[in-house]
Amino acid sequence: MTLNAEQISTLAAKSANSALVKDIMTTRIVTVDLDDRLHVIRTIFENVSFNHLLVLEDNKLVGLLSYRDYLAALSPRIGTAAEFARDTRTLEQRVHQVMSHNPITISPNTSIKTATEVLLEHKIGSLPVVEDDKVIGIITWKDLLSVYLVINA
């Protein structure tokens, strides 16, 4: 994520303790279904510049699929001269088989400092932002690093 001019000016007047998740969260999110197959996920990851997909069931967040989770589920021989049919079949797995279930979430009114502490404590790379049981954004460790650079500039 690259902070836009409005986000930078908002953050410039704040500290890490007073800046909020809603000030920097990414609202452009991509969601997938539990039963989507990994070949669909492959297409998504090939066409976007982010590494986390939110998994919904009946419009409720039930999981998170990172690019790392996706890669770990695939045969390492896919796309190589050593690829066999069984390797290609790994793309037939469904999202629910490889996603992280029940992801830790955060409120838009949470401080950036608290969000950073949660990411570090749980050793995770992103936090879906949820308000009234609805996903409204996502924040990643890269977003937080960008904020600290702006605040401490």
**pLDDT value of position 149:** 78
pLDDT in tens, 8-21: 666 655 655 678 99
pTM, two decimals, is 0.82
d(CA 11, CA 95): 36
Q: What phi and psi, each to the nearest 5 degrees, are found at residue 9?
A: -70, -35
Output the pLDDT for position 95.
95
- The model's confidence at residue 90, banded by pLDDT at 50, 70 and 90, is confident
pLDDT surpasses 70 at 54: yes
SS3 for 57-126 is ECCEEEEEEEHHHHHHHCCCCCCCCCCCHHHHHHHHCEHHHHCEECCCCECCCCEHHHHHHHHHHHCCCE
Mean of pLDDT over the chain = 86
